[in-house]
Amino acid sequence: MSQTIVSTNKPLNHKSHSTTLVTNLSPMQKGLVTVGIIKSLILLFAIVHSSNWIQGSLFIIGLLLGATLLYARFGFTSAFRRLVSVGNVQGLQAHMLMFAVSTTLFAIILSTGFSFTGIAPQGYVSPVGISVIFGAFLFGIGMQLGNGCASGTLYNFGGGSSSMILTLIAFIAGSTLGAYHLPFWNSTPALPPISLAEITGLGYFGAWLIQMVAFIAIYLITIQVAKKKNPPMMKPLPTTTGWKKVLRGSWPLFTAAIVLAVLNALVLTVRGNPWGITSAFALWGGKFLSTVVVDVSSWGYFAGPNGLALKNTVLADSTSVLNFGIILGAFIAASLQGTFRPKKIKFGVAGAAILGGLLMGYGSRLAFGCNIGAYFGGISSFSIHGWVWAIMAMLGTFVALYIRPLFGLKVPSSKDTFC
């Protein structure tokens, strides 16, 4: 059967709910694909040689995470921004589907103790207090200025976004500073870690039921919001048909939501904790400072397991290995799509990237995680702090919409064809 190609010159139906569009694709960047695969194989060998196959498996999962994020341009930052600015709910609806799948898988894994490696699985359940409230709020502002959250920074960096170099460096600096200040924030008022599986007295099944009702309710509310606001839709991403779509085309948002949920659950069964990102940034910053004769080992943050990670190679740190995989996975995916094209960084964008990275790094340490560790991992683990994080990050997004124009960054408008 012949493939139907839609000309990119034709006007798109801006009210279409599809997040992909069959059209002509950019030529594959074969040389870059080869470079990415070779680098991945070398790094995989180094990880397994210096550590073990568990770390190697996590690196492979990281590659899949990076590719999935890139193929769907799966956004947490953009989903919040579109919702708050014009009422576009497509991103948040994808989040609810992702949570429905991850919550179901996490409930099974955490209730049964299932593990592929013998490491007892534990979710991310953290205290709820001043640090989480303030940290998530800062993160919400930062991700809108940096034009990417934690996962967005990594996959866009791997995908060729030049400004993400600045965001990532600032993210590491902010996370390191947050680690230094963390003992103070831990001393501020806070409730103990609260798990819905425990406070309901109904166990993981009861917690699963409560959250599924919440996800469905939020999804239904988003439908009403869309009807009332009639917002511009997300611009469909270019894709193709058949099996070529898997490696060359873009993926539907909902497909990526399901894949990310499954991969997060897989991370839980392999290393015993859900997917996380930003603890590695504090580790990288700590290691850098150690090389310039700063005694970071005396910091409260680097007591216990964090201190042990400081002494070992980063290839033994599971979060670092996942991050490396995300960057390379996104790089390979972008090269397969022919979209790896770094560009010059505008002055305003550079300033926003640096400030946004600093706020995200600092905020993520205070809030016990980022959009992945606290939001995705926390809610999937039935932690109340994950829900608090979501609310505060949304408020931070609202404030950031008034700050973005100061740096020349666009804010979606209801008059836009696409948002």
48 Cβ contact partners less than 8 Å away, ≥ 6 residues apart: 55, 56
The predicted-structure confidence for 89-144, as pLDDT tens digits, reads as follows 999 999 999 999 999 999 999 999 999 999 999 999 999 999 999 999 999 999 99
Asked whether the predicted pLDDT for residue 6 surpasses 80, the reply is: no
Three-state SS at 20: strand
Residue pair 304/310 in contact (Cβ under 8 Å)? The answer is no
Mean pLDDT on 12-38: 87
Burial class of residue 2 in the structure, from the number of CB atoms within 10 Å of its CB (0-12 exposed, 13-18 middle, 19+ buried):
exposed
Query: Quick one: what percent of the chain has pLDDT higher than 90?
Result: 93
Q: In Å, what is the CA distance from 392 to each residue of 42, 217, 378, 399?
A: 41, 20, 14, 11
Asked whether the predicted pLDDT for residue 199 surpasses 80, the reply is: yes
What per-residue confidence (pLDDT) applies to 131?
98
Integer Rg of the chain from CA: 21
DSSP codes of every residue in 137-178? HHHHHHHHHTTS-HHHHHHHHHTT-THHHHHHHHHHHHHHHH
Asked whether the predicted pLDDT for residue 347 surpasses 70, the reply is: yes
**Closest CA relative to residue 408, chosen from 343, 350, 356, 342:** 350
Domain boundaries, the chain: 75-148+161-310+342-407
Query: Quick one: what percent of the chain has pLDDT higher than 70?
Result: 96
Three-state SS at 129: strand
Residue pair 60/68 in contact (Cβ under 8 Å)? The answer is no
Asked whether the predicted pLDDT for residue 14 surpasses 60, the reply is: no
Beta strands 20-22 and 237-239 are: parallel
Mean pLDDT on 37-41: 98
The predicted-structure confidence for 289-326, as pLDDT tens digits, reads as follows 999 989 999 999 998 888 899 999 999 999 999 999 99
Question: Amino acid identity of 396?
Answer: G
What phi and psi values does residue 303 have, to the nearest 5 degrees?
Answer: -90, 150
Asked whether the predicted pLDDT for residue 3 surpasses 90, the reply is: no
What per-residue confidence (pLDDT) applies to 305?
85
The predicted-structure confidence for 219-265, as pLDDT tens digits, reads as follows 999 999 999 999 999 999 999 999 999 999 999 999 999 999 999 99
**Closest CA relative to residue 263, chosen from 46, 107, 67:** 67
Rounded CA-CA distance 323/150 in Å is 10
What per-residue confidence (pLDDT) applies to 54?
97
Strand partners, 237: 20
Query: pLDDT-derived band of residue 10, with 50, 70 and 90 as boundaries?
Result: very low
130 Cβ contact partners less than 8 Å away, ≥ 6 residues apart: 185, 188, 189, 190
